[in-house]
Chains A and B, each alone.
Chain A
């Protein structure tokens, strides 16, 4: 979340879409209710189903699964057409005025400029800003109405070249490296009147001019008048350009689990930037994460292309640390009169401190901070690809801890078949689960079972209440928890198991040598009890400490060698600091664990609770909070004062921790989005930041009942990869599968393991499929009847839940039904073991395709057929 759960109470307007917080985040949802009750905030819920969240909404809009970009894009169009815009915010805090390179083309035909059909990817060199400086006013005459940009606009007059040097990165990083990626021009051309035909604002306007209410009706199935009602209500907070009110957008995996999931979130971000809602109390773009600690998992590099703290992983092209640091450290790119903090410019400090935390004294300046110890990631090792690799026999074994890979899917049957081919499987769990018992999954015969040669090690682990440690919630907040009771029987703590495996491997390397023992032998393992590392030790390690005496040159504050670091501003790239995760630096200081704090005072009344837990970065509760002030440094809303510029103190002060260079006066015009090289919010995402386009565009899911009404010849996103094994089958638009199916969770269950808990089983005892009344009538299905849902891959059996809460839709003139299936059932659990329930996994239905940016599979919106079983 850019903001936090408690901050939602400050809002005037909520758009809840792609998420169902009442059911999946009920405790956080109390703040949405609070906003309604105390501020009379309005709530708009857009969802394929009338959910329990919708039950409390002021306006509910039923949308076709996966048509979110069409809906949000039309919202952008509506805001621009009706002048519901935060003008000062857009000009000063976003890249709306930046001029885009000539040759950039919008995807009227479904393709941006630079598409290479042979590689199914884009050459992104035109997805960049133009070099040049201030051209304000020079291009007003050229501001022609919408026309194909590749043909229409004439080049802007050459701007005064204040920086004549070539763009950074034009010189090769090292001889061994591949050609370096193009980089942003340091001196960006911009037009503050936003009239230049190639400025981001005009391109955006043109891009979404196609997203009319009529198109929303065709693509999303939302009647035109209903869309207009929602758009009017949401953008009403910016009526007349008044900046006082704030709107928030709240989403969850309903947006991420698509082949264009990242772009849906981009659309929301653009809308929020246009309305000036980012950085403000009660505003923002807020991802409600799917688990209590999933934010922590991503922060700590639970994904293959990150190191902790969102440092990018090295690739084989990074010949040495210098080349790596150069590639991953952005250089400032901005209008010459403006300032940009470009905080990622500190990347080498974070990276060196990380390597010092990993390898201690073995990482020296001379040996390039042991950079060569880090694995170089040579290909896409994302979730779906990993299972594909196992299916194809190249991945030989899996450690499955804290997850149920078979149940998660996509295509559970493929994952089961992949495990049959693996040599070994280690499962650390608290219950026998579908993954550890893949070899006896329904349909496997005795003969087949005998042929499965996979060795399965099942290790009883500790449950969440049997471990201490911190969890990082959606608000980016780390909260320490204590052990409630010890693990039962022979169950062990996960960290003990992992530590003992590591120590054994290291022993083997010591004894037998090996191809490259150094990273194993030199790994820092300085825990009080190496076989049982305390999570407190690990927390201190990722916070980081000084390795030499340090002094702040300005404040003369000193830190002695060995002391915990108070914050990431202290990190150095000379090897004098160690820090396992720079964004967590400050969470465990010399004063102890900040995450264990439980102060309930809230002096500002804004739900900041500065002494409760600790949120990254630097205990800041709202990201980009400098944008809560006007360019002169005064809060847009004097009643919700987060931070402000103090003339007296000559610095930024406030109720929250300023997310800014505290001594940068407003006259310097430093951008509030300090994590972008430009310093401003990106309406247009330049270069390689997104794989599938610098603006969002509506594409159909991989399986769709209609061809994309915007460009039928390019229905799906062109960069989506379809996997190629015999297991990977995808339905076509006009085949036998005509019903849209989406999957989700219920409030009564948690993933695949509460089916082992009697209370949860009592609340929702059986698997069901939610079916519209009209579809049920057509098929002669009554509530409670057994039904079979079949996709191109496999089938699912459950009872029919005939409901009025999903209505039939008309999509591009075609009658379309949507059904929904909760994910929680499987073949191990109380009711399953007693033979009362069907033993099927819903992810047997889902397809093996994923988002090209975040690699999240498309669990929402695939095609099925349904029949009475």
Chain B
């Protein structure tokens, strides 16, 4: 992965085209997470904490091996555990590494009103620029995976960066490097998709998981984090992975038609103002307006 992959493709809240967009397009990166060989060891959690220098916080026991109920502003990579008993099948312990999915159509970016607070690089990484973040939290409602989290201390929003800093230097993300079983892979989206499909085929043919498949949801234009699932028809069992994630319609409505309507209304208002001025001239205060006397109710 060369540095060229940090070429910006899209920018949040930015009017007009992204500078340099479409000029050069190198391969898109992706993580492949094979949940069927994940052992829930949490090495990825620790690698993420350490590489990104995240602060520790107190956790409490939640009747699970899971470190905390969901990702946090200072905990971007969380393995979700589920003791799952499929109907007519035997018990499974499903473990899925949860983090930002780096959507092709990022709901967070679409929802974000702050210019340059969220960018999508040409390699597919969706990255938050905290210095531009206004802390409005709209990205939270834009994300169908419940990933971005608001920091109560800095009033900014944080999430997995797909280790853009490492990737731009030709390294793999920290979680990938730490994984002991090799259930995590990193490469181009095409390679990862192919590797995932090969593994899914092996699971269908050799291990009796007839519904094994790759999770790359089309509702958000595909993601740059792919999963191999034993049962791709039931992603919800993996700690609530949405079956058909989409950018919420309210966000789309707000950011596209409504925004333009709003813009139109605003521009219309300005135009109306001008027309009014030209037609009627400046507004003057009429002389005969009674000034209320002291003590009287207006």
Contact = CB atoms under 8 A, between A and B. Distances in A.
B is a partner of A? yes
Contact of A766 (B36, B61, B83): B61
A803 interface: yes
The B contact surface, by secondary structure, is: loop
Nearest to B36: A56
B236 interface: no
A805 B93 contact: yes
Interface string A1-39: 000000000000000000000110011011001101100
A866 to B, nearest CB: 16
B85 to A, nearest CB: 6
Contacts of B39: 22-23, 26, 29, 52-53, 55-56, 747
Contact of B63 (A34, A54, A765, A802): A802
A27 B183 CA distance: 12
Interface string A738-765: 0000000011100000000011001111
B249 interface: no
Interface string A680-713: 0000000000000000000000000000000000
B57 to A, nearest CB: 7
B95 interface: yes
Interface residues of B, number: 39
A11 to B, nearest CB: 15
B83 A765 contact: no
Contacts of A747: 39-42
A804 B85 contact: yes
Interface in B65-94: 65, 67, 83, 85, 90-94
Contact of A33 (B42, B45, B60, B183): B183
A805 B91 contact: yes
Contact of A759 (B49, B62, B65, B182): B49
Contacts of A764: 61, 65, 67
B29 to A, nearest CB: 22
A776 to B, nearest CB: 10
B269 interface: no
Nearest to A768: B61
A54 B92 CA distance: 8
Contacts of A748: 42, 65
B134 interface: no
B207 interface: yes
A763 B46 CA distance: 9
Interface string A36-75: 1100100000000010111110101000000000000000
Contacts of B65: 52, 746, 748, 764
Contacts of B95: 52, 55
Task: Name the interface size band of chain A.
Answer: 35 or more
A766 B37 contact: no
A862 to B, nearest CB: 24
Given A26-B39, A804-B91, A759 B180 contact: no
Contacts of A22: 39-41, 181
A829 B93 CA distance: 30
Interface in B82-122: 83, 85, 90-95
Contacts of B199: 37
A58 B207 CA distance: 7
A542 interface: no
B153 interface: no
A766 to B, nearest CB: 4
Contacts of B49: 759
Contacts of A783: 62-63
Contact of B37 (A54, A56, A765, A799): A56
A93 interface: no
Contacts of B207: 58
A52 B40 contact: yes
Interface string A765-788: 110100000000000000110000
Nearest to A760: B46
B42 to A, nearest CB: 6
A800 B58 CA distance: 19
Contacts of B280: none
A787 B58 CA distance: 22
Chain A CB count within 10 A is highest, among B40, B90, B92, for B40
Chain A CB count within 10 A is highest, among B42, B183, B206, for B42
Contacts of A60: 90-91
Interface in A484-509: none
A520 B93 CA distance: 57
Given A52-B39, A763-B42, A805 B59 contact: no
Interface in B200-215: 202, 206-207
A52 B46 CA distance: 18
A766 B68 CA distance: 12
A764 B40 CA distance: 13
Contacts of A800: 63
B26 to A, nearest CB: 29
B140 interface: no
Contact of B61 (A27, A58, A765): A765
A37 B206 CA distance: 10
Contact of A29 (B45, B62, B181): B181
B61 A40 contact: no
B202 A50 contact: no
Nearest to B60: A765
Given A58-B207, A784-B61, A758 B182 contact: no
Given A40-B206, A55-B39, A766 B60 contact: yes
Contact of A801 (B43, B58, B63, B183): B63
A54 B93 contact: yes
A759 B43 CA distance: 11
Contacts of A802: 63
B23 interface: no
A23 B41 contact: yes
A748 B49 CA distance: 14
Contact of B180 (A30, A50, A804): A30
Given A34-B182, A758-B56, A50 B91 contact: yes
A765 B58 contact: yes
A22 B83 CA distance: 17
A50 B63 contact: no
A762 B90 CA distance: 31
A768 B43 CA distance: 21
Contacts of B57: 762
Interface in B180-204: 180-183, 199, 202
Interface string B163-183: 000000000000000001111
Contacts of B61: 764-766, 768, 784, 799, 801
Nearest to A800: B63
B255 to A, nearest CB: 37
A750 to B, nearest CB: 13
A828 B33 CA distance: 37
B183 A763 contact: no
A784 B67 contact: no
Contact of B181 (A26, A40, A763, A803): A26
B64 to A, nearest CB: 8
B41 A37 contact: no
A54 B93 CA distance: 8
Contact of B93 (A55, A765, A766, A768): A55
Contacts of B92: 55
Nearest to A36: B37
A834 to B, nearest CB: 9
Contacts of B182: 30, 33-34, 37
Closest 3 CB pairs of A and B: A783-B63, A22-B39, A55-B93
Given A30-B180, A60-B90, 11 more contacts: A33-B181, A34-B182, A36-B37, A52-B41, A747-B39, A759-B46, A762-B57, A763-B46, A768-B61, A784-B61, A784-B62
19 contacts: A22-B39, A22-B40, A26-B180, A26-B181, A27-B180, A30-B180, A30-B182, A40-B206, A52-B40, A53-B39, A55-B40, A747-B39, A758-B56, A762-B56, A762-B58, A762-B67, A765-B60, A784-B62, A784-B63
Interface of B: 36-43, 45-46, 49-50, 56-65, 67, 83, 85, 90-95, 180-183, 199, 202, 206-207
